[in-house]
Structures are given as C-alpha cells and as structure tokens.
Amino acid sequence: MSGPKVVKIVTKQEMEAICRGQIAAYQKAVEAFKKYAKKHDCLTSDLADELKLRLEKFSNVDINQYEKLERDVSLQIDFLDSERRCIESQVVARKLNKQKKIQTLGYIKQQLINSCKESHIELPDILKKGSNLLLYSDDEVENLSEQLNELFHQLNMPSLTKETSLTDIQKELVEQLKDNSQTQTVSQWYSQQLSTEQVQKSPKTVRLMKVIAELDALECNDNIVSDFISRANEMMFQEKESLFDLKLDSLVIEIADFVKAKKQLEEKVRLLNGLFEEIKAFDLLQFEDAFAQLRQESSQANFDNIDSLLEKVNQLKSDVIENFSDIHRRKVLLAGLADLGYEISENLETAWVEGGKLVLKRPGNATYGIELIGPKGLDKFQTRIVSNQDSSSRTKQQDKEEEESWCEGFSALKEHLLDVGSEIVVEKAISPGVSPIKETEFENDKWQHKSFQRKDSKQEKNKR
C-alpha cells in the first residue's frame, strides 16, 4: 500500500539514549531512597539486596525494548515511593513513642520540682536545668530517664508522701516511683507512667505530637524543625496561659500545612533530579549552558520556584530530545534515500530542515516525485507521490501505477532503516488511487537523483 503515509521513526541512537536516561533516573531514585532509609535506620540488608537485584535487571537491557523499559522503570519508582511511605509510617510511630516517653519524663520532672519546693528541699541540678526535651536524641532521653531514676532513690520518698502539702496525684506518683524504682526496668517504668490517668494527653496535644513526628520524618532544614519543635515544647511543658487552646490549634495547623507542602516539594525535587538524568543521556549540544543554569537553580529549589523549575526543565527536555531526534532521524532517513540512489546534498538537507519539506524526482521520471514532509524533531513525517504536472496531463491510471511503483522504493527504505537498528512504523496509510496526486513544483536540478538502483544491496555486499 503506497498511497500517502504517515510514518514514525525511532533511531537506534534515540533508543540507546532513552535507555541510558531511564536507567540513570532509576539509579538516582534508588540512591535518594537508600539515603533516606539509612538516615532513619531502615535500610536493612534484605532491602539493600532487593534494590541491588532490581537494578541489575536493567544492566543488559535490549534497547529495542525501550518502551517496556520506560514502563518498568516507572513501576520501580512507584515501588520506591511505596517503600518510602512505609518507612515514613515507621518513623512517625517511632517518634511518637519517643515523644510519649519525653512527655512522661517532662511531667515527672515537673512533679518532682513541685514536691521539692513544697517540702523545702533544694532542687538537684537535674531539676534546675531547663531544656527543650522534644529536641533530645534517643541517647539523651535514656540518660535523662536514668538520672531521674537515680534521683528517686536519693530523695527521701517516705517523707515526701507524708507531706500534707502534696496533692493526691503527686503522692500517688511518688508512691509508684518508690515501690517500683528498685525492681522495675526503665522501660517498664515508662509503661506504667504512660498508663496513669494524670499523664493522659488531650486530643489536641496528641495531634501536636503527631504532626511533630511527621515533621521529624521529613528531609528538612534542621533550623526549621528546631523552631517548630521549640514552640511545641513550650506548649507541652510550660504552664497554660490565656488563649492556650487557640495557640495550640494554630501551631498544629501551621506544622501540618508545612509538612504537607514539604512532602510535595520533596516529591517534585526527586522528579526534577530524574529529569536531569534523562536529559544528560542525550547530546546537549547548544543546550549545555541552559542545562547548567537550571541545574544550578535546582540546588536552591523551594516552595516558590519548584513549579517554575519543573516547567523549565520539562521544556528543556523536550527541546533537547527534539533536536537530538531531528538530527538522527533526518540522517538515517536521508542515508536510506541515498541508498536507493537519490542524490542528497548538504543544500538539500538544509532546505528540508528550514522548509520542513523535501521533494525528490522519481527515478527516470520527470513527471512524478516523492515528497517528504516533517516538522522539526521529525516525530512523524508524511510521504507521498507528487507530480509537477496538472491532472489534465496525467491519467488516474498513471497516478495509481506511480503510487504502486513506489511500494518497492518504500519497502527498500524501510529495510535500510531496520538494517541500521532503527524502528519504523506506518501509523496511517491510504491505498493507491484513493487520494488525488498532489501537484507541486520540483524547483531545479538539485532535486535530481542518480539512479533508482540501491547502491549496496545485500546480494552486492555478499559478492564483494
């Protein structure tokens, strides 16, 4: 079928670049994931081995399977995102448990301060020291719990419980510490304190602890996290003042909004990094400066500029791929036409690039020619038989025969493209004689070809 056709070409060079870019983007995503998992002590040996195996599957990929590779890489990145969410959940749960311990320690510390003051006992150094408990590391939390535990033994517990100035809650707490401090472990002591009614949290405080834990699971600037946690620490451990509930609600909303926006930013930054890896796989040529500039800007990605950066990088990717594809598709197509015997000059190639159209006269025929039309990038192009004479000088039968005779030439062109590793797909075709032959000027002699015979057929190559 050699009426007008819409044809798509993907060259070997494009397939190779696409595969390189996809694999590089996946490697970048794996590196980012491993860094995040390691930061939160969640990169187990089994998980590391699994990631290594998944990456190795792409080591010897068939470039002709580039479309499948794109789908597979997308699925693998979805897997990483799913694993990241699981780790986030683990981190949040772990941080919440830590905060519960901290809140219990803070409560007990305050109770001991009150008891000592009411019993006219000088405050030990550990009770004098003010601190932001929510910023404590795991080791610091354990150290504080041991110090408080030692303090329970040092204080005269029986005399404290006899003091009438103590509240019932304080007496109950001291009795619990006195009875259990010698026999219970620190972890058991924590559990018992968390179960007591006096340290139960209000729903608003629980929500504050939850958003702080989510904040801790992010890849944030330490100063931002410290500021939020310091404010939360004040709300949780200082005496309630006027408008406390309103201020607490406001802080919870502020942190929750930040966490949501930060997660979106982190996701977009990961996407941005993947796009850079894909772009690098192609020849940058005249786009090197633009690439370097955007790479520099991306290092300062923030809430305000991330969407603009993504738009610019996506546009750069389109421009780079279009330019790369245009060069290689025209090159392989013109080489195929030359293999059929058509004379291809630099002027001819330049005219096609600038005008988007190429007309070659048919072999041994001054009346008919071949027209190729394709935009920059040559994502798709149209090929058809054209004539430099009006319809009154030709018959429909002649037109149909010319279209049918081009069948051999197009098949040879297709064979050449496949021989050099390129992919050619006819997306749309009209049967010969159905569509009227287009009439156009052949301009001048530069459109002439040398011979319809292929320069190097497979038989001729074998003979040589």
pLDDT in the model for residue 198: 42
Q: What tens digit of pLDDT does each residue of 134-157 get?
A: 777 788 888 888 887 777 666 654
Q: What tens digit of pLDDT does each residue of 437-463 get?
A: 888 877 554 444 433 333 444 444 444
Contact (Cβ atoms closer than 8 angstroms) between residue 23 and residue 280: no
Q: How many CB atoms lie within 10 A of CB 246?
A: 9
What is the span of the domain harbouring residue 340? 5-9+327-463
| Six-digit token string for 444 | 């001048």
Mean pLDDT for the chain? 80
pLDDT in the model for residue 153: 65
Nearest to 200 by CA among 169, 160, 229, 178: 169
- Is 354 inside any structural domain? yes
- Is 176 inside any structural domain? no
pLDDT confidence band for 124 (50 / 70 / 90): confident
- Is 155 inside any structural domain? no
Contact (Cβ atoms closer than 8 angstroms) between residue 335 and residue 416: yes
pLDDT confidence band for 84 (50 / 70 / 90): very high
- Is 151 inside any structural domain? no
Q: How many CA atoms lie within 13 A of 346 on its CB side?
A: 0
- Is 214 inside any structural domain? no
- Is 430 inside any structural domain? yes
Question: Mean pLDDT across the stretch 271-275?
Answer: 96
- Is 135 inside any structural domain? no
362 has pLDDT over 70: no
pLDDT in the model for residue 159: 46
Q: What tens digit of pLDDT does each residue of 94-103 get?
A: 988 888 888 7
pLDDT in the model for residue 360: 79
pLDDT confidence band for 68 (50 / 70 / 90): very high
Q: Which amino acid is at 114?
A: N
| Six-digit token string for 421 | 């590793």
DSSP 107: H
Number of domains forming the structure of the chain: 1
Nearest to 212 by CA among 239, 230, 195, 192: 230
Q: What tens digit of pLDDT does each residue of 196-228 get?
A: 444 445 777 888 889 988 988 887 766 777 888
Q: Which of 64-78, 98-112, 247-261, 449-463 has the lowest mean pLDDT?
A: 449-463
Task: Please state whether the predicted TM-score (pTM) of the whole model is above 0.85.
Answer: no
Percentage of the chain beyond pLDDT 70 is 78
pLDDT confidence band for 74 (50 / 70 / 90): very high
pLDDT in the model for residue 69: 94
At 384 the three-state DSSP class reads strand
Contact (Cβ atoms closer than 8 angstroms) between residue 37 and residue 461: no
Angle between helices 346-355 and 306-339 (to 10 degrees): 140
- Is 76 inside any structural domain? no
DSSP 34: H
Nearest to 81 by CA among 244, 266, 216: 266
pLDDT in the model for residue 454: 38
Q: How many CB atoms lie within 10 A of CB 457?
A: 13
